[in-house]
Amino acid sequence: MDLFFLGALGWGPAGGLSAGEAFYIASQIEDGNAESWTCAFEHQGEVLSAQANIWLKRGCTLAAGEARLKAFACYRSAWQFVVPGKRFTALFRTSQKHFDQALEELGIPATRFTIPYAGGELPGHFFQASDPTVPTILVIGGADTCHEDRFLSQGRYYLNRGYSVALVDLPGQGLVQEQGLYWEPETELPIAAVIDELITRFRVEPQRLALLGMSLGGYFASRAAAYEPRIAAVIATPVLTNPIELFKGVEKQEAESDKTKASEAGKNNLQVLMWKAGATDFSEMAQRWDGVVVNPLNIHVPFLSVLGNQEGSIWKKQTEEWHTNIASAKKSLVILDAESGADAHCQGNNPLRLVQEVDAWLREVL
């Protein structure tokens, strides 16, 4: 829970909860108790949504949007430890509704779209910069995200820096698994469908398109870097080239944990992950992912690998080996230590530092 709470706190500067709101919520959570987590965040979402309506009545549209975006952040955190089912879906849909209303109230122009893929639809948002010739950054989250929360984590910062921003859920992300579309090894296929749409609908030029993958999205991005030629620069935090190693690590941790003490939150989270993976258990997952490895020698696109020092050993090993071995003429590895305050998983404790690194590097390679 600590990681997700830190994440929620890390969204603050981009319009998420204040320290006071986050700690008030935390005071109602019993460690490991998923129900207490969900109720505390859901209730705060209701409080903030009601406050947003009060601001609207007073004619304060900006304040309404600020409160509504915080309400989104609450509902989004609320579903984190809910098992798949009606409640998960209801909280998720409520979070989406608040996100879109907040954007409108904040006056942030955005287009919600869906992309046909494999008989289903991938949802996303496109944020067009005022200058249509600037680069576009496509941000892809990981196992525990939805595309909307990438706005608070990274997207809004790039928009404020003048970039266009695309956020999208790939199979197994957000609610896409409801359509029977689960995480898949060949991520270049849905990403190709996304790029088709970015080019035809939003006139994005591939030579000005950057892809940022976070967490499990570090695999999605590395994979796309190897097989999808229409990307000008790729960033992964951290890199993941061999997902089965990570999944096996989680399985081992699970097997070693004392089942009687295993927290409800952890168990629920695992159930959600299996749902996203489209597997009933680890052995089924292993079957699907066994032998799936991205070859660093296939990588010729400019590539930025980012690694926080708090990342686990599997992430560290794969990121460092990847950086050493990729064939790209332009490659860079940024390792962030405790002093940077950005050493947590995907820089959740200091999102701005990741933004600064990505922005600085893109200026040099694009």
Point out which residues bind a copy of itself (CB under 8 A): 6, 9-10, 12-13, 17-24, 44, 47, 55, 58-60, 62-63, 66-67, 161, 338-344, 347-353, 356, 359-360, 363-364
Q: How far is the CB of 48 from a copy of itself (least distance, A)?
A: 9
- 19 or 255, CB closer to a copy of itself? 19
Q: How far is the CB of 21 from a copy of itself (least distance, A)?
A: 3
Q: Are 293 and 241 in contact (CB under 8 A)?
A: yes
Q: How far is the CB of 94 from a copy of itself (least distance, A)?
A: 19
Q: Are 358 and 235 in contact (CB under 8 A)?
A: yes
CA–CA dist 152, 12 (Å, integer): 8
- 97 or 161, CB closer to a copy of itself? 161
β 111-117/120-127 pair status = antiparallel
- 323 or 353, CB closer to a copy of itself? 353
CA–CA dist 245, 289 (Å, integer): 9
- 116 or 162, CB closer to a copy of itself? 162
**DSSP assignments along 10-72, one per residue:** HTGGGTS--HHHHHHHHTTPPTT-HHHHHHHHHHHHHHHHHHHHHHHHTT-HHHHHHHHHHHH
Q: Report how far Cα 131 is from the mean position of its chain's Cα atoms.
A: 26
Q: How far is the CB of 169 from a copy of itself (least distance, A)?
A: 26
Q: How far is the CB of 58 from a copy of itself (least distance, A)?
A: 5
**DSSP assignments along 179-233, one per residue:** GT----S-THHHHHHHHHHHHHHH---GGGEEEEEETTHHHHHHHHHHH----SE
Q: How far is the CB of 348 from a copy of itself (least distance, A)?
A: 8
CA–CA dist 298, 295 (Å, integer): 6
- 320 or 359, CB closer to a copy of itself? 359
- 262 or 360, CB closer to a copy of itself? 360
Q: Which residues contact 308 (CB under 8 A, 6 or more apart)?
A: 237, 238, 335, 336, 342, 343, 344, 345, 346, 347
- 132 or 162, CB closer to a copy of itself? 162
Q: How far is the CB of 344 from a copy of itself (least distance, A)?
A: 6
